[in-house]
């Protein structure tokens, strides 16, 4: 009997520490309410997600001394997200199709589709002018044995941003008791459509607003990267990373060879596998020496986009901190960019009767 009482008290203590709470984040220019959900695990890790764009607004992770810091770049107010969301994509779900589509056009099953173009470019970017990063998602707190969890759903109707089919999308965030942030994506459609979802969080493991990420150390489980043209659109060639500034097969300082990149930073797609995997495996590791924070990324996706805030212009972020070029690192797990124009790439086409499923894990620790 004593053992049973102790067990029940222990379970109650853990459940009291791990929780999901909700608060009102703001009201959009169009009068829509945006809520924020705060996930906290029993070790004190906190992930805050807003219903606009499914944005990870804050992500608090401890350093080697146990002191937590917010490692996700973002804004304090909804108005700031509305003002800047079309440029920086802080923390958001990107889709229907993340990354670039050349010319903003594609053909599918004998039909031609026209999408909007990113301003002053000749490509479609991250799902369009009102893609998944700019819509209000429905949110539901769900029970998950791994830890506090939030499920977001959105119906993208046939013709949305030029894409065919009614696409029902579900994204689940789980903050596990093993100190991982899991993002699970699921979608179905009533008509064939491209889909390529990812999350666009800018990480700085020293803490958001701490300056550049040039001293972070990066390892990528990739032997090849995608050759691109002047618009960073794939040519179709997969090039070996060996002997180039794109070789992160062993831990390298991000800033060590960045001056050899013509655009002054990384915005490149790397090959993880020839096709999607059956379960997530290690894709990348980021280590910040001063804090000791480590982030490992596991995914079942065939590729990952490395972006070092190369095109970010100065902006005031959370707490009045200044964000600038190279102040964050994005590691966007996904299919290859512009796959609709490259039959040799793993397909991004989802058809009626099929279910799109993919999972990415951000595992946190210290060293």
**pTM, two decimal places:** 0.94
Instruction: Give the pLDDT of residue 3.
Output: 36
* Integer angstrom CA distances of residue 96 from 159, 261, 353: 12, 29, 18
| DSSP structural state of residue 300 | S
As a whole number, the mean pLDDT across the chain is 94
Distance of CA 210 to the CA centre of its chain: 20
Specify the number of domains making up the chain. Answer: 1
Q: Are 152 and 34 contacting, i.e. CB atoms less than 8 angstroms apart?
A: no
Helix residue spans in the chain (DSSP H): 2-17, 78-88
Active site residues: 200, 332
Using 50, 70 and 90 to split pLDDT, how confident is the model at 6? Answer: very low
Report the share of the chain in percent with pLDDT over 70: 95
3-state SS class at 12: helix
Q: What is the pLDDT of residues 183-233, one digit of tens each?
A: 999 999 999 999 999 999 999 999 999 999 999 999 999 999 999 999 999
CA distance 68 to 36: 20
Rg (CA), the chain: 20
DSSP-derived secondary structure for 29-87: TTS-EEEEEEEE-TTS-EEEEESBTT-EEEEEEE-TTS-EEE-B---SSHHHHHHHHHH
Q: What is the pLDDT of residues 262-294, one digit of tens each?
A: 999 999 999 999 999 999 999 999 999 999 999
Instruction: Give the pLDDT of residue 87.
Output: 78
Q: What is the pLDDT of residues 72-128, one digit of tens each?
A: 999 999 999 999 976 799 999 999 999 999 999 999 999 999 999 999 899 999 999
Q: Are 127 and 85 contacting, i.e. CB atoms less than 8 angstroms apart?
A: no
Q: Which helix (H) or strand (E) holds 276?
A: none
Distance of CA 103 to the CA centre of its chain: 24
State the average pLDDT over residues 325-334: 98
**Torsion angle of C-alpha atoms 221, 174, 58, 186, degrees rounded to 10:** 70
CA distance 45 to 326: 25
3-state SS class at 15: helix
Neighbours of 48 (CB within 10 A): 22
> What contacts 187, CB < 8 A, 6 or more positions away?
167, 168, 169, 170, 195, 197, 350, 355, 356
Full residue range of the structural domain in which residue 266 is found: 2-366
> What contacts 11, CB < 8 A, 6 or more positions away?
none
Given a cut of 80, whether residue 1 has pLDDT beyond it is no
Instruction: Give the pLDDT of residue 18.
Output: 86
- What CATH code is carried by the domain that includes residue 183? 2.70.98.10
């Amino acid at each position: 009997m004593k053992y049973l009482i102790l067990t029940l008290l222990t379970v109650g203590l853990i459940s009291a520490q791990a929780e999901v709470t909700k608060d009102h984040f703001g009201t959009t220019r169009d009068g829509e309410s945006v809520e924020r959900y705060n996930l906290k695990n029993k070790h004190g890790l906190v992930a805050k997600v807003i219903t606009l764009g499914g944005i990870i607004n804050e992500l608090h992770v401890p350093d080697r001394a146990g002191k937590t810091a917010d490692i996700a770049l973002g804004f304090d107010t909804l108005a700031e997200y509305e003002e800047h969301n079309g440029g920086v994509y802080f923390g958001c779900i990107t889709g229907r199709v993340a990354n670039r589509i050349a010319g903003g056009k594609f053909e599918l099953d004998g039909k031609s589709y026209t999408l909007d173009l990113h301003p002053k470019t000749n490509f479609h970017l991250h799902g369009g002018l009102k893609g998944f990063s700019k819509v209000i998602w429905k949110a539901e707190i769900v029970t998950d044995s791994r830890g506090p969890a939030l499920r977001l759903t959105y119906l993208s109707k046939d013709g949305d941003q030029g894409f065919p089919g009614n696409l029902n999308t579900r994204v689940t965030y789980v903050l596990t008791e093993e100190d991982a942030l899991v993002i699970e994506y699921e979608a179905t459609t009533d008509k064939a459509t491209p889909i390529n979802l990812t999350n666009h969080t800018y990480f700085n493991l020293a803490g958001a607003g701490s300056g550049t990420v040039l001293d972070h150390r990066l390892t990528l489980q990739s032997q090849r990267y995608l050759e691109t043209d002047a618009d960073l659109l794939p040519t179709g060639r997969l090039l070996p990373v060996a002997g180039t500034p794109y070789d992160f097969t062993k831990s390298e300082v991000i800033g060590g060879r960045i001056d050899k990149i013509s655009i002054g930073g990384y915005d490149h797609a790397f090959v993880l596998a020839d096709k999607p995997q059956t379960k997530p495996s290690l894709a990348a590791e980021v280590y910040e020496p001063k804090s000791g924070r480590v982030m490992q990324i596991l995914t079942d996706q065939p590729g990952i986009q490395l972006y070092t805030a190369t095109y970010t212009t100065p902006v005031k972020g959370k707490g009045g901190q200044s964000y600038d070029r190279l102040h964050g690192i994005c590691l966007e797990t996904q299919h290859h960019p512009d796959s609709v124009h490259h039959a040799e790439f793993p397909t991004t086409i989802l058809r009626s009767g099929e279910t799109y499923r993919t999972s990415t894990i951000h595992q946190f620790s210290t060293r």
